Structure 1
Amino acid sequence: MTEALFLTSSDVADLAEPTDYVDAIRDAYRQRGFGAPAQPRTKLINREPPGMLTSYAAVLPETGAMGGYMYAAGFGASDAWFMTPVFDAESGKPLALLDGAVMNPFKTGATGAVGVDALARSDATELAIVGSGSQARGQFKTTTTVRDFETARVYSPTAAHRDAFATEMSEYANFTVNAVSSTREAVSGADVVITATTAAEPVIDDTNLEDGVHITAMGQYHPNKNELPPRTIERSLYVPDLRDRATQDAGSFLAAMDEGLVTEADINAELGEIIAGETPGRTSNNQITVFDSGGTGIETTAAAYMLYERAQAAGRGSEINFAPASDALTG
C-alpha cells in the first residue's frame, strides 16, 4: 500500500496566487519545449444520456510529476466534475488526487498569461476581453500579472454580466475596466485581446484588429468551437499549446484550413518551444500573434503538483491508500 493525499477544492483554494500559477505553468511549458511528453485530449461522447468523458495527461520530468485531468460533463446533470491525479515521475507512485474545480480558471488563465508574456509586445497597455464568465475572470487575473495594463474593456452579450465583470475586475486591478456594447468597441485599439467564450462562430471581426495585437483564444477546444475569423489565423503568427491539438480540435485553425487559407506548415511553433528558446516568437511590433489555448495536461499537472506541495506543507487534505497492481495480480 502507498499513501496519497485527497485534496478538496476548499483544501487548496487559498494556497496560490495568480502569479504562482503563472510561474509554475511557464516552467512546465519550458519543459515541454525541451521534449516533456504530452498528448492532446481524448474525448468520448455518449449520446443517450448526452454527455462526455474527457482526459489528457503530461509528464514533467524536471518537476518530478506526471498527471492530468479526467472530467465528466452532462449525462443529465448539466454540470461537470474534474478529477486530477498526480503521480511521482520517478517512482510512478500516486501522490495526490485533487478536486480540480477551483483551480480550473486559474490554471487555464495562467496558460493564457504565459502565452501573452511570450508573444505580446512588451509595451502593451490596452487589454480587451470577450467573455465575462469564470474563465474570463481567471484570464484577467493572471494576464494582468505579466503586463502593465493601463485600461481594459470587456464585452459579452448580456449587459448585466459585462457590467458585473467590469465592476469586479476594476476593484481587483489598479486600473479601470470598462464594459462596452460591442466586440468592435472592445478590441479596437487593443494591444492584447482575450476571447473566453464557447462560441461556434467568430466573435471578433478581423478588420477591427490593430497591427501588432496579440490574441489569446481559449475557447478552441472542439472542431465546432470557433472564436477567430479564418483571415486572422491566416495573417497571424499562429502558436498552439500543442501542435497535434491544432489539427485535432482547434476550431478556428481547422476552419481556416477548410477555407484553404492555412496548412499544418503554418503552425509556427508550440508555446513551449518559444519559451524554451527553441523557436522564435514575435519578430516585429507590427506582427499579429495568436496563442490557441485549448487545454492540456501540461498546465494541469504543473498547477496540481504546486498545490499538492503547498497542501503538504500546510497540513491540508486527507490520506487515502492505494494498493499496487502487484497485490491485485498476486493476491
Structure 2
Amino acid sequence: MNHAHHPTLFINDDNVAELATWPSAIEALSEAYKQPISAAMVPPRTMARGEGFWLRSLCAVSPSKEYMGCKLIAASPKNKKASYLISLFDQDTMRLAALIDGNRITDIRTAASSAVAVNALAAADKLDIAVLGSSALARSHLHALNATGRIGKVRVYSPTQANREKLAQEFAELYGLDIQAVASPEEAVKHANVVVCASRSRDGGPVFDAAWLEPGMTIVSVSSTLPEQRELDVATMQAAHLIVADMPEEVLHETGDSLVAIEAGCDVAAKTVSLSDVMTGQVQVRQKPEDIVIYKSVGSALQDIVTAEMLLRNAKTADLYQEMQDSIVTIDR
C-alpha cells in the first residue's frame, strides 16, 4: 500500500506545546463559533467503562468544512494514568489526515473558548479580572485572557497563600501584568468586571457567593462539569440575566450549578443560550449595562476538533510533525 502522497501526520506532545499559541487558538474558535453549528455536528459524548477505568469519546464535524475528528480519553483513576488522542479525518476524501497527542488540548481549548466568550460578553474595554483558583486551568485562563489584549488588572485568590502568590509573581514577570494575590475571595471579586471561577471547593459547595455580585459583571464558570460539582450558588444563577453555555443541554442537565438552581425553582433553561447564538448575533447579551451574564462551560468536542485543526495548520506551516510511514486504508464504498 502506498500512501506516500497522502501521509498521516503525527503531532506529538512537544510539537503541540510549540504550535499552540493562544492567539491562534482564540481566533480559530472565534471563527468556528460564528458558523452555523447543528446539534448533529456535535453529538453527546460517550463513555465505555471497565472496573476502575474508562474510555471516553468526543466527536465533532468542524464548521470549517475541512476536518472531522474524535478526541479519545483513556483514563484509569485507580492506576492514576490517562492518555489523550485526537484523530482528524478529511471531510472530502475520508483519509486519516492526522493523529495528535491530546494531552494539552483540554486546557488550551477550554481557556481559549472562555476568552472567546469573554471577548463577546464583557462590556468594558478593560477587563478587571478576579481569578478564584490557582490550578493549571486558572493559569491557562490567564494566558488566554492576556492574549485578548484587554486586561486592566488581576486579583487572584486561592486558599493556599503560597499558590496564589506564586501565580501572581509568575504572571507579573511573564506579561508585566498588574496582578496581586489577595487574602479572600471577596477581596479578589470587589470591583472586578470579569470573574473566572477555576476551582472546586473541598466540600463540593459553591466557591462564588451572590453577595459579591456587582452590576454588569461577567462570570466564567469552568470547574463544575458534573452533577455532584458546584461552583456558583443558587442566588447567582437566579441573578444572572443570561447564561451562555458551550453545550446548553449538558450545562442544564448535567452540572450541579444548574441542577440545584432548577430544584430551587430557578428557570435556568429560559435564560440559557448557546455560545454560537451569541457569536452569530442571534442573541443580545445585555438588555441594560448592569445585567449580569454567566458563561458556563463543560467543554465540547467542537472545541477539541477546531483546536486540533488549528494545530495541524500550524504544524504544516512550521514543519513540526512526523510523517507516519504507513496509514489506514481508505476504500471505495
Please list the CA deviations of residues 78-113 of structure 1 after superposition, one character each: whole Å capped at 9, or x if unmatched: 243211111112222211111112333222110110
Identical columns (%): 30
Give the equivalent residue in structure 1 for 2:193: 191
1:21-32, aligned counterparts within 5 Å? 21-32=25-36
Please list the CA deviations of residues 180-207 of structure 1 after superposition, one character each: whole Å capped at 9, or x if unmatched: 1221111121100011124432101111
Instruction: Say yes or no: does 1:245 pair with 2:250.
Output: yes
2:61 equivalent among 59, 62, 77: 59
Give the equivalent residue in structure 2 for 1:324: 329
State the TM-score, normalized to the length of structure 1: 0.91
8 Å Cα contact 2:96/2:328 also seen in 1: no
C-alpha distance in structure 2 between counterparts of 1:223 and 1:175, whole Å: 36
Give the equivalent residue in structure 1 for 2:302: 298
C-alpha distance in structure 2 between counterparts of 1:55 and 1:4, whole Å: 21
1:45-124, aligned counterparts within 5 Å? 45-46=49-50, 48=51, 50-124=52-126
Give the equivalent residue in structure 2 for 1:227: 231
Give the equivalent residue in structure 1 for 2:19: 15
C-alpha distance in structure 2 between counterparts of 1:76 and 1:32, whole Å: 41
1:217 equivalent among 221, 229, 241: 221
Segments ≥4 residues shifted beyond 4 Å: 32-36
C-alpha distance in structure 2 between counterparts of 1:128 and 1:219, whole Å: 15
Please list the CA deviations of residues 97-153 of structure 1 after superposition, one character each: whole Å capped at 9, or x if unmatched: 111123332221101101101111133431011111111111111112335222111
Give the equivalent residue in structure 2 for 1:258: 263
Matched letter for residue 300 of structure 2 = T
Report the number of matched residues: 325
1:126 equivalent among 120, 125, 128: 128
- Where in structure 1 are there 5+ consecutive unaligned residues? none
Structural RMSD (CA) = 2.2
Q: Residue 65 and residue 325 in structure 1: after superposition, are their counterparts in 2 closer, same or farther (change >3 A)?
A: closer
Instruction: Say yes or no: does 1:284 pair with 2:271.
Output: no
C-alpha distance in structure 1 between counterparts of 2:195 and 2:322, whole Å: 41
Give the equivalent residue in structure 1 for 2:177: 175
C-alpha distance in structure 2 between counterparts of 1:147 and 1:191, whole Å: 15
Q: Residue 272 and residue 58 in structure 1: after superposition, are their counterparts in 2 closer, same or farther (change >3 A)?
A: same
- Where in structure 2 are there 5+ consecutive unaligned residues? none
C-alpha distance in structure 2 between counterparts of 1:124 and 1:249, whole Å: 33
SS in 1 for 2:231: coil
The structural deviation recorded for 1:36 is 7.5
Matched letter for residue 87 of structure 1 = F
State the TM-score, normalized to the length of structure 2: 0.90
Matched letter for residue 304 of structure 2 = T
C-alpha distance in structure 2 between counterparts of 1:102 and 1:263, whole Å: 32
SS in 1 for 2:258: helix
8 Å Cα contact 1:120/1:282 also seen in 2: no
Matched letter for residue 66 of structure 2 = G
The structural deviation recorded for 1:32 is 4.6
C-alpha distance in structure 2 between counterparts of 1:134 and 1:265, whole Å: 33
SS in 1 for 2:154: strand
Give the equivalent residue in structure 1 for 2:152: 150
C-alpha distance in structure 1 between counterparts of 2:198 and 2:112, whole Å: 13
The structural deviation recorded for 1:75 is 4.0
